[in-house]
Structures are given as structure tokens and as C-alpha cells.
Amino acid sequence: MVLKPQDVLFLLKLISVGKKPWSFNKLSVDLNMSPSEVHAAAKRAVAARLAIKDDGKILPSIRNLEDFLLHGIQYVFVPERGALSRGMPTAYAAAPLDSSIVADNEPPPVWPDPEGEVRGESFSPLYKSAPKAAKKDPKLYQLLALVDAIRGGRARERNIAAKELKKRLEDYGQDAESKS
């Protein structure tokens, strides 16, 4: 079993959805993936212990996911950087980090998107459908931007992103405990 980037996208979507009910079909539409891709992502996430099956439901394993996102993702899913391109801002150039990190004179990292309104250095998204999914879900967009800051940011950006991501994962974990 090899973890794939769409597995992390699936898990971040579960964090974004919170405790609301979801279905594989609904997530497949939201993530621009086929239902079988989402199902396979869930299966791999459980096998990798980044998610658990509880009473027929799949839930993110917050501690394990946090550990992987903070310490492993930057080595497993290294972003490709490229030429200047139009796109959607990510990492430090997107919320929530854009308010706490002052950009230097370098072009901001962007996911290439012909409809994008920002010109910057192309930064490969975690998974090909991530930008489309992010356009539909602001919470997911912020989670992906934080993960991108960890995947490809400088030390200061990674530290700020890690603190913010931890907070969001803890919030999900508290929601899970209060409702169980």
C-alpha cells in the first residue's frame, strides 16, 4: 500500500466537513474525483492509520494525521516549482497566512489556473483536482494552503503554518469528542 496525494486531499476534506454527514458520491463531486477514487483514498487512509473506521464511518485520526502533516508530508509530496503563471495563491500568499507573513519582492506561489487572478511562481498542488475543490470550499482552501506552506515554505512559514494547522486539527478533535 502506497499513500497517494489524493488520500491527503480526502482527509483534509473530512476535516473541512467536520462532523456533518457525508457520502462518497458527495465527496467525489466536491473533490472532482470519481467515487471509486474517493473510496480507494479512504481505504488507503485507514490502512496508513491516518483515518479510522468507527461504527461504519470513516474519521480522520487526528494525532496521526497531525504527525504526518507536520513532519512527513514535506518529504513525501514535494511540490514542483516552475515558471511564472496565472493562478490561485497558495502557501503564504493565501489565507490564513497572507495576513501574518509579509511577502518579499519574489512572485507568490500559485497553483496554475488559466482563470487565476494572481501572477506568480507555479507551485504544484497536492493533487490535480485540489484547486477546483478549493474554489468550492474556503475551509478546504485554507487547509491546503497551510499544507502547501509546510510542503514548500521557508522555516518561518512552516512554523506559522504548523501552529495554525494544529489549531484546526485540535478544533476538529474537540468537536469529535464533544459529540461522542
Q: What is the pLDDT along the chain (180 residues), one digit of tens a residue?
A: 899 999 999 999 999 999 899 999 999 999 999 999 999 999 999 999 999 998 889 999 999 999 999 999 999 999 999 999 999 999 999 999 998 887 778 899 999 998 899 999 999 999 999 999 999 999 999 999 999 999 999 999 999 999 999 999 999 856 544 444
Domain spans, the chain = 5-74+170-179, 79-169
What is the CATH code of the structural domain delimited by 5-74+170-179? Answer: 1.10.10
Q: How far, in Å, CA of 154 to CA of 173, rounded?
A: 28
Looking at residue 178, what is its pLDDT?
44
The pTM of this model reads 0.93
Average pLDDT across the chain, whole number: 93
76-116 pLDDT tens trace: 999 999 999 999 999 999 999 998 887 778 899 999 998 89
DSSP E strand stretches across the chain: 51-54, 57-60, 81-89, 109-112, 118-123
Question: Would you call the peptide bond into 96 cis, given omega within 30 degrees of 0 as the criterion?
Answer: yes
Q: How far, in Å, CA of 83 to CA of 96, rounded?
A: 25
Q: How far, in Å, CA of 64 to CA of 7, rounded?
A: 14
Looking at residue 172, what is its pLDDT?
87
